[in-house]
Chain A
Amino acid sequence: MGTVLQFVVLGLGLGAVYIGLGSGLLLVHRATGMINFAQGAIATWGAYVFAELRNTGTLVFPVGSVDLGEPPSTATALVIALATAIALGFAVHYLAFRPVQQNSVLAQVVVSVALLITIQALVVLRFGPNKIDVESFVPGGTVTLLGAAIPTRELFIALVMVVLAALVWCYLRFTRMGIATRAASENERAAVLMGFSPSWLAAIAQAGAAFVGTVAVILASSLTGLNADYFGLLVVPALAVLLVAKLESIPVLVVAAIGLGAFQSLIGLLVTQPWWPVWAQSGLDQVIPFAVVMVILFVTGKRLPTRGATQQIRLPDVPIPRIRPLVAIGLVVAAGLALAFTTGTIRFGLTTSLILSLLALSYVVLTGYLGQISLAQSAFAGAAGFVLSKASVDWGIPFPISMILCALLATALGMLVALPAFRIRGAQLAIVTLAAGLGIERFIFNNYSLSPPEGNPIADASLFGMDLAVREGRDLSRLAFSLMVLVIVAIIVWVFVRVASGDMGRAFLAVRANERAAESSGINVRRTKVIGFALSAFIAGIAGCLIGFSRGQLSAESFTVMAGLQLLAVAYLGGITTIGGSLVAGLIGPLGISYVLMRTWLDLGEYYELVLGLALVLTAILNPVGIAGAVRHQVEFVRRKLRRPATSPPIDAPRREEEASHV
């Protein structure tokens, strides 16, 4: 009994972080209606500033740093670090969130994902990749209760966070600005008419959230050390706790946070017991929050609060794709020639770009056309890849049956994730898929029982005696393999175009625009969603298998949640609504041709992720149709100018044309 109590208290360290991040998430959601997926990353920055000040006396900024000579006292360092946190909160509001307030939910989700990527990359660049120690200025020691040593540090930390959460609650309850924040979330126009600036309220909320989160991370990292990605991803269980609190109630949030922390700690104790099954030893602490999230959303999905905004939301236009045979054949031939006339790493880069564009296409189907935000695509691809390893090596299933089977497994997974999409959408669906992706990553990909230590080798493909292996000897990228990839990509794109330009495609767009209207015009929304998720997961699965074939060996790190978010970033940058967008995404994605060229000619090093994150923030704010869309607009503009030079119509004419295809 004493041990249980001891572990419950030990779990308070984690619970404190959940309180901090959760309160911040709640505050920001109340003020803006948006979910800030970067809350953990933002909180981590301030903690790093604090640790660096105390360890080396250097005050580090995103650009540049100031050497203070002697490390300042704990109190001074705390003040400086928290001031940076507040400044970061304001910056995040004005530079990232306010500009997308009137954009679509997708843009809002993408902006905060982009912030997550950017800040984490920045942390690694400015503070180094290793874990750093954070001093503990909280009194340590233990107190004996029920025969066990109960640590006082965790109790103190949890107490501090509960007090902070109470302050947030008081702010929202009793202060004029807090009440105004709640008011604005219900009826923003009315708040404006009473003299409140929703933007200013949101800025205060962001700063407050950054403050509370940073305190939590500073305190908790004294227990575990500070690391670039750990606290960033703790936002996922914090989101689970936020959903339990129905995005509204601080007291429920505090209780849920403490409960989750204690529960995860107890699980940690249980898995060491000899009777605990081996296959369930790792990743349970991520699967549980995911299950909690699913249940909560399933049960209460329709009753979660949404914001009464002042203006209509614009969605990026989606063109209906048409098969123009000449263009298509031309593209395929051009790609084939490019593959034939390059060798080695360049051809490998081109081939990988083709595969990545398939992954991006899965995002186009699901997010661009169907309008569902899923952050779990990499999990589908990874699942297919891992099963392919078993299928090709252990069970000896030949290609291409093995690939199709594995993609079908990914499809099944996708259909599973479609279930919560029946009742929830937007940022909430993003949360579920993120939690699912994390759960799959920890529980399945890292599960030793499923993943042997010798790795996951993938047998080379061959068809009717034709060797389709990716490499042989010193030929890093055989033409046969690359052409096979090209053929598969062409087939899938063709299938996609057929679907997208047919009734199903229009059904997708209808569901994306307005589910209720779609339902009332006779479209079976549920079936449409399932089909969309299934198709998207199938494409992702094929891509995962192709990645496996191109590597020969599959590692879990290729399909982590962070890798998936990077894929989303790249897909959105390329253009999430068109095939062209997915091709551009393939070109700029990791291990694609740009990546290879940059590493060969220039030492790109660690800046890739930072640039990706920043470019994504810009794109989410300025240009929802991505690079491909921008190019298309340019091409159309030029074409129009060339066709009728004398009577060129006003600039906003193309806009209207595209509105027509925007259901």
Chain B
Amino acid sequence: MADAPLLSVDGLTAGYNGVPAIRDLSLDVRAGEVVALLGPNGAGKTTSLLAMVGLVPLLGGEVRVLGAPLGRRRPHQLARNGVLLVPDDRGLFPSLSIREHMRLAARTRDTRREQEVLERFPALLDLGSRRAGLLSGGEQQMLAIAKALLARPKVLIVDEMSLGLAPKIVQDLLPMIGRLARADGIGVVLVEQHIELALQVADRGVVVNHGRAVLAEDAAALLADRDLVEEAYFGAGRFADHEAVGGTA
């Protein structure tokens, strides 16, 4: 696509207490694109996401969001500008009802659009007044996505959506996100453990290991060469002599 990326990460280095957890990460996300960020536990994926929305300070590199650098914008301002992160704890409020979550998501009350979004998650339709803490894992994840969609994001970043979910649900949800991305022109970054499903939905994949991006290819190419992905995950083969970087603090 010819238009500028919605999210552009260039040489991102971020970490805690001055110690980097991720180094020199670069990726672009354009409207309607899905980028899968893959890698084993502790690779630095979550840190990358947090850095992209300003929750973790940058130690190096640049993040450009909607054309402008992060600058001094606070995380909540980014969220209002349409860059939404669904974190690994799903970002829900246990004692608030589904309806209250939806109320928080949209600046102005638009019941028709609420209805529209909820219709994509039929399981939530009848549960309007139930508290989020009482929902099942799958329902919670659906709520997390639904409230993100209600806010009309330009960039949607989802961290480990499939964690703790039944396979059937994951098989429905992931492709749906892909469809939504393309239909509404949202730029999506997915951090996933479900490598196959993620690559099926994504346009491109980036594998991160030991705090560095070790592999960045079109998703189709990665799907075709599973061994390559495995090697990247386990630090074997041509990724073997890659120096280990600090790791997590």
Bound together, the chains give a CA A193 to CA B84 distance in angstroms of 7
The yes or no answer to A323 lying at the interface (CB within 8 A) is no
Chain A residues positioned under 8 Å from B94 (CB to CB): 186-187
The yes or no answer to B247 lying at the interface (CB within 8 A) is no
| Per-position 1/0 for A187-221, Cβ under 8 A of B | 10111111111000000000000000000000000
Closest-CB distance, B85 to chain A (whole angstroms):
5
Given A176-B104, A179-B104, the answer on whether A190 and B76 have CB atoms closer than 8 Å is: no
Chain A residues positioned under 8 Å from B86 (CB to CB): 193
Given A183-B96, A186-B95, A187-B92, the answer on whether A194 and B151 have CB atoms closer than 8 Å is: yes
Closest-CB distance, B8 to chain A (whole angstroms):
20
Contact of A193 with B79 in the complex, beta carbons under 8 Å: yes
Find residues 86-145 in chain B having any chain A CB closer than 8 Å to their own CB. 86-87, 89, 91-96, 100, 103-105, 107
Given A179-B100, A195-B79, the answer on whether A189 and B55 have CB atoms closer than 8 Å is: yes
Chain A residues positioned under 8 Å from B76 (CB to CB): 192-197
Chain A residues positioned under 8 Å from B74 (CB to CB): 197
Bound together, the chains give a CA A176 to CA B147 distance in angstroms of 14
Bound together, the chains give a CA A449 to CA B77 distance in angstroms of 63
Chain B residues positioned under 8 Å from A246 (CB to CB): none
Chain B residues positioned under 8 Å from A196 (CB to CB): 76, 104
Closest-CB distance, B37 to chain A (whole angstroms):
17
Bound together, the chains give a CA A659 to CA B92 distance in angstroms of 35
Bound together, the chains give a CA A365 to CA B105 distance in angstroms of 48
Contact of B85 with A193 in the complex, beta carbons under 8 Å: yes
Contact of B87 with A182 in the complex, beta carbons under 8 Å: no
The yes or no answer to A180 lying at the interface (CB within 8 A) is yes
Bound together, the chains give a CA A179 to CA B75 distance in angstroms of 19
The yes or no answer to B53 lying at the interface (CB within 8 A) is yes
Closest-CB distance, A566 to chain B (whole angstroms):
38
Bound together, the chains give a CA A521 to CA B209 distance in angstroms of 35
| Per-position 1/0 for A57-80, Cβ under 8 A of B | 000000000000000000000000
Bound together, the chains give a CA A409 to CA B120 distance in angstroms of 70
Chain B residues positioned under 8 Å from A180 (CB to CB): 104
Contact of B79 with A187 in the complex, beta carbons under 8 Å: no
Closest-CB distance, A496 to chain B (whole angstroms):
33
Given A193-B53, A194-B104, A194-B151, the answer on whether A182 and B79 have CB atoms closer than 8 Å is: no
- Chain B: CB-nearest residue to A173: B100
Bound together, the chains give a CA A350 to CA B93 distance in angstroms of 56
The yes or no answer to B80 lying at the interface (CB within 8 A) is yes
Bound together, the chains give a CA A183 to CA B93 distance in angstroms of 6
- Chain B: CB-nearest residue to A197: B76
Given A179-B103, A179-B104, A180-B104, the answer on whether A195 and B91 have CB atoms closer than 8 Å is: no
Output the residue of B85, B92, B93 with the most chain A CB within 10 A: B93
Chain A residues positioned under 8 Å from B103 (CB to CB): 176, 179
Chain B residues positioned under 8 Å from A187 (CB to CB): 89, 91-94
Chain A residues positioned under 8 Å from B80 (CB to CB): 195
Contact of B79 with A194 in the complex, beta carbons under 8 Å: yes
| Per-position 1/0 for A612-638, Cβ under 8 A of B | 000000000000000000000000000
Chain B residues positioned under 8 Å from A189 (CB to CB): 55, 87, 91
Bound together, the chains give a CA A120 to CA B143 distance in angstroms of 49
Output the residue of B84, B85, B104 with the most chain A CB within 10 A: B104
Chain B residues positioned under 8 Å from A183 (CB to CB): 93, 96, 100, 104
Output the residue of A176, A189, A190 with the most chain B CB within 10 A: A190
Contact of B95 with A190 in the complex, beta carbons under 8 Å: no
Bound together, the chains give a CA A182 to CA B86 distance in angstroms of 19
Contact of B151 with A193 in the complex, beta carbons under 8 Å: no
Chain B residues positioned under 8 Å from A176 (CB to CB): 103-104, 107
Closest-CB distance, B110 to chain A (whole angstroms):
13
Contact of A192 with B55 in the complex, beta carbons under 8 Å: yes
Contact of B147 with A182 in the complex, beta carbons under 8 Å: no
Given A186-B95, A187-B93, the answer on whether A193 and B100 have CB atoms closer than 8 Å is: no
Given A195-B80, A195-B151, A196-B76, the answer on whether A190 and B89 have CB atoms closer than 8 Å is: yes
| Cβ contacts A to B, 30 pairs, < 8 Å | A176-B103, A176-B104, A179-B96, A179-B100, A179-B103, A183-B96, A183-B104, A187-B93, A187-B94, A189-B55, A189-B87, A189-B91, A190-B87, A190-B92, A190-B93, A191-B93, A193-B53, A193-B75, A193-B85, A193-B86, A193-B87, A194-B76, A194-B84, A194-B91, A194-B147, A194-B151, A195-B76, A195-B80, A196-B104, A197-B76
Give 7 new A-B contacts, CB below 8 A, not counting A179-B103, A193-B53: A180-B104, A183-B104, A186-B93, A189-B91, A193-B84, A196-B76, A197-B74
